[in-house]
A and B are shown apart, each in its own frame.
Chain A
């Protein structure tokens, strides 16, 4: 399972990340075997070969002690990487459980635990607000520059980082339903924290680990650079850069250059490695066979060979339709998966048609195709969409946009999220009105108030100054309705207009939509997963399954004598 996941992730990686991954393992290899691979001794001074430029024998040149820099670069990761990794591991081992415990304590609520957590976090802030480098220097200065002390110093300054990120992740994860579920089956709080919540916080920890390892290596090099870290002649990149830096000015660049490049590449490859690891850890990575089968079904437009052809019913004496859709097909651009195929619809003035089907059947793709709002990865592959005399598929974007507000109105699900959160209701209505008519701000305000009145908002003059987040779901939906019906459009396309609203509010909004639309002679296309809405608010109903319309009929006839097995199945599911 794990291997499968790793292989999948690797295959999905961009080429350059794969290259970095190879380099990462290169550094790990050098950390283990580097010192044995060095062609020259790495710590023995050789006065006869001081500061030679790069050549065949010394590819990176030699340093001030006459030692081969290439050999020292091969051997140095042992020091730098080990110190960085061990110090980081220490910070993780101490910081992670502390973070979990603080978060659990904090989320328990109550004055005492909040005070404790606050004090603790303040303390961490104090530690973190010290200049890390100076702090580490002081520690090393006081306790001496042994490798152990360097590790302790680096671990100490990095521990608060892990406490913080684990704490904040755990605090948000314990709010999630699965943590409550763990409590409901009888887990202790501590076990919820460590067994259920912490594993879900690990991806963040791993990213942080890779960043911190890089940082710790830099810190090691930095300490050595100022002489507070690893002492020469031990091969160590920071000390090598420090000793080489002196010769930069006089043109002997190689002594600092090659260790510098090596240091940069090490830090970089650790960072990328962390990113790749989080992708491997993502539990979603393994997709299930049936999922792919289901996708395949969509792709091929449904695998229902046993299903008879869609019973097409000639609807009684259709007059000139407002909207006529023929042979419409939509597919994904890259994979050519068909998402809609052979869609036929015709909608008369003043009538309402419901489109029902389960999630994923293509209802919303249809809406987007009709409104020219398909995302770039989807495209119309066949057919036509006519609105009165206009061909909506070939119409240019500007004309379409003008059409969308004045003649074809759309209401999309979850109205609240579509209202601009930073604009008041009044400004929204006013700018919409002024975009289409030459009217003064005063006139626009009067009209806005009338519009809000029309959709049944109490105290409309006051509501003009309200912002979307101050509206209830029902009110937000009414505001959207006011915007949609502002110009008595000939066609209203509503995609799940009442999803998420309570039944009594849903009823008010649907009744209002019907009354207003009938007044204005607006034809309605109502997309819904709720057969109850279709039964009571639509004249005809089309049933969609896997991107096709499998049955379309007058509402009563469809509910009384469904012909397609899928329609029968849907009705069986909802009958009381």
Chain B
């Protein structure tokens, strides 16, 4: 059985005068022990909302979420609080996510205290955790403002991991860091995963970071997962026009790796009261009338490779052509 199961998750925000903003639209995925799922998409595609719903920091409108055989979606507040030791969150903003008035030690000590670990048992665990994320004993009594961004993020990671959770949602944990700090944090997260078998949902719009850490990648557009496959497969061959455009736009730091000239014109439309059609319909270069009849489902088009494009085989063919031409 999968560690985490998410089925048909939908989150609708009511905005303005009773308009429905469908931030997450019928999303399903699973996560295994020790595995990382990368959740990629542009701003507003619903990544953060998925992460928050899975942890029930916001209430999903619909859908089932289960951690092992524990139904997260049905827990009452007390049960949910108890379960928080097993599922955690790391934030994008390293400084903003730390209470400015708690020291490094107090910040990492609190989750253990809340989950009933006695004072005597906490001390060595907090110390070991802080050392594991690479913080030396002399910073234990510092306040967040006294740390560098990289150190602040390490504190955030220590706080999330100290209760030894089974899975952690990492919401853009490296996007506010400089390249070298980013690399350090990614390496740290990977090393910890290989020791503890913690599963991650790694949310980011930066495909190069996601590719470094994820086993599988799901690409989101306008609240939908439009494509989903193991990392090496999806980085090589996309089966959805949006994923192809997204990957083409990635600028790898290598002048010889020329970006694919494939682009999708225009900008992401609003998620308010969307029509029941393919979310890319308005911008898709290969759309056809049938694409507006219903939202195309995510189906396994090749082995372990899921796409929600009705014309995925045309995408495959045109990619092969482009490669042949190059």
Contact surface of A with B, Cβ cutoff 8 Å? 1, 176-178, 180-188, 196, 199-200, 283-284, 286-288, 290-291, 358-359, 458, 472, 474-475, 502-508, 529-536, 555-556, 559, 569-576
- The reply on B96 being an interface residue by CB < 8 A is yes
Among the listed B96, B156, B208, B212, which residue makes an inter-chain contact with A176, where contact means beta carbons less than 8 Å apart? B96
Q: Nearest chain-A residue to B211 (Cβ)?
A: A576
Task: Give the contacts of B231-245 with A (CB-CB under 8 A).
Answer: 245
Given A536-B259, A555-B255, check contact A572 B81 (CB 8 Å). no
CB pair A532–B100 under 8 Å, yes or no, is no
Kindly list chain A residues whose C-beta atoms are within 8 Å of the C-beta of B101: 199-200, 283
Please report the C-alpha to C-alpha distance between residue A474 and residue B248 in the assembled complex, in whole angstroms.
18
Q: Is B267 an interface residue (CB 8 A)?
A: yes
Q: Is B42 an interface residue (CB 8 A)?
A: yes
**Distance in angstroms between the alpha carbons of A176 and B246 in the assembled complex:** 31
B294 interface contact, C-beta 8 A: no
CB-contacts of B115-155 with A (<8 A) = 115, 139, 141-148
Q: How many Å lie between the Cα of A188 and that of B148 in the bound state?
A: 30
**B81, B98, B115, B178: which contacts A359 (Cβ < 8 A)?**
B178
Contact A574 B179 (CB under 8 A): yes
Whether B263 pairs with A571 at a CB distance below 8 angstroms is no
Determine the distance from Cα of A469 to Cα of B99 in the docked complex, in whole angstroms. 31
Chain B hits for A286, CB < 8 A: 143, 146
Contact A287 B146, beta carbon cutoff 8 Å: yes
Contact B249 A506 (CB under 8 A): yes
Q: Chain A residues near B102 (CB, 8 Å)?
A: 196
User: What's the minimum C-beta distance from B126 to chain A, rounded to whole angstroms?
Assistant: 13
Residue B57 is within 8 A (CB to CB) of chain A in the complex: yes
Q: Is the CB of B114 within 8 A of A200?
A: no
Nearest-CB residue, chain A, relative to B257? A535
Q: Separation in Å of the A231 CB from the closest CB of chain B?
A: 45
* B254 at the binding interface (Cβ < 8 Å): yes
Contact of B96 among A178, A508, A529 (CB under 8 A): A178
Query: Does B205 interact with chain A (Cβ within 8 Å)?
Result: yes
> Considering the complex, which residues of chain B in the window 141-184 have a beta carbon less than 8 Å from any beta carbon of chain A?
141-148, 156, 159-160, 163, 178-180, 182-183
A503–B249 alpha-carbon span in the complex (Å)? 6
In the complex, what residues of A have CB within 8 A of residue B246's CB?
A: 503-504
| Least Cβ–Cβ distance between B153 and chain A, in angstroms | 12
- Does B251 interact with chain A (Cβ within 8 Å)? yes
Question: Is A559 a contact of B100 with CB atoms below 8 Å?
Answer: no
- Supply 16 A–B pairs (Cβ within 8 Å), ascending by A: A178-B97, A181-B89, A181-B91, A182-B110, A185-B88, A185-B160, A186-B81, A187-B110, A286-B143, A358-B178, A503-B207, A529-B178, A532-B253, A555-B255, A559-B253, A573-B179
A3 CA / B144 CA spacing, docked (Å):
19
A475 to B97, CA, bound (A): 31
Range class of the B interface residue count: 35 or more
Among B42, B85, B144, B183, contact of A504 (Cβ-Cβ < 8 Å) = B42
Of the candidates B96, B114, B141, B147, the one whose C-beta lies within 8 Å of that of A185 is B114
Whole-angstrom CA separation of A502 from B207 in the bound complex: 11
Q: Are A532 and B178 in contact (CB under 8 A)?
A: no
Whole-angstrom distance between the alpha carbons of A575 and B209 in the complex?
A: 10
Is B305 close to A, CB under 8 A?
no
**A288-B97 contact in complex given A503-B246, A536-B259, C-beta closer than 8 Å:** no
Residue of A nearest to B84 (CB): A186
By beta carbon, the residue of chain A nearest B235 is A576
Q: Is the CB of B98 within 8 A of A181?
A: yes
The reply to whether the CB of B9 lies closer than 8 angstroms to some CB of chain A is no
- CB of B57 within 8 A of CB of A574, answer no
Q: Pick from A1, A196, A505: contact of B267, CB below 8 A.
A: A505
Q: Which of A184, A291, A556, A572 contacts B256 (CB 8 A)?
A: A556
CB of B320 to closest CB in A, whole Å: 22
Q: Known A283-B145, A358-B178; judge A185-B208 contact (CB<8 A).
A: no
Highest count of chain B CB atoms <10 Å: which of A185, A532, A535: A185
CB distance from B136 to the nearest CB of A (A): 11
B146 touches A532 (CB 8 A): no
Minimum distance in angstroms from B291 CB to a CB of chain A: 20
Q: How far is the CA of A186 from the CA of B114 in the complex (A)?
A: 7
Residues of B within 8 A of A290 (CB): 148
Residue of B nearest to A537 (CB): B251
Check B100–A535 contact: CB distance below 8 A: no
Contact A574 B115 (CB under 8 A): no
In the complex, what distance in Å separates the CA atom of A532 from the CA atom of B206? Answer: 12
Beyond A503-B246, A506-B249: 16 further Cβ-contacts under 8 Å?
A184-B84, A186-B81, A283-B101, A283-B143, A288-B146, A291-B146, A358-B179, A503-B249, A504-B246, A505-B267, A507-B259, A559-B255, A570-B180, A573-B182, A574-B179, A574-B253
Decide: A507 near B249, CB < 8 A? Known: A288-B147, A576-B212.
Answer: yes
From A288, A458, A474, A535, B255 is in contact (CB under 8 Å) with: A535
Nearest CB of chain B from residue A360's CB, rounded to whole Å: 8
Contact A576 B179 (CB under 8 A): no
Q: Give the one of B98, B101, B156 with max A CB within 10 A.
A: B101
Contacts of A505 in B (CB 8 A): 42, 267
Does residue B322 face the partner (Cβ distance < 8 Å to A)? no
User: Would B57 and A180 count as touching, CB distance under 8 A?
Assistant: yes
Q: Would you call B180 and A573 a contact (CB within 8 A)?
A: yes
Measured CB to CB, the nearest residue on chain A to B41 is A502
Which residue of chain A is the closest to B206 with respect to CB atoms?
A: A503
**Beta-carbon contacts of B199-224 to A below 8 Å, as 1s and 0s?**
00000010110011000000000000
Q: Are B253 and A535 in contact (CB under 8 A)?
A: yes
- Cα of A575 to Cα of B263 in the assembled complex, Å: 24
Contacts of A199 in B (CB 8 A): 99, 101
Name the CB-closest residue of B to A188. B81
B253 and A508 contact, CB distance less than 8 A? no
Residues in B with CB closer than 8 Å to A534 are 253
**Within 8 Å CB of A529, what residues of B?**
178-179
Bound together, the chains give a CA A177 to CA B147 distance in angstroms of 17
CB-defined contacts of B88 to chain A, threshold 8 Å: 184-185
Q: Are B255 and A536 in contact (CB under 8 A)?
A: yes
| Alpha-carbon distance A378/B110, docked complex (angstroms) | 44
* A69→B179 CA distance, assembly (Å): 71
CA distance A40 to B208 in the complex (A): 83
| Minimum C-beta distance from B103 to chain A (A) | 9
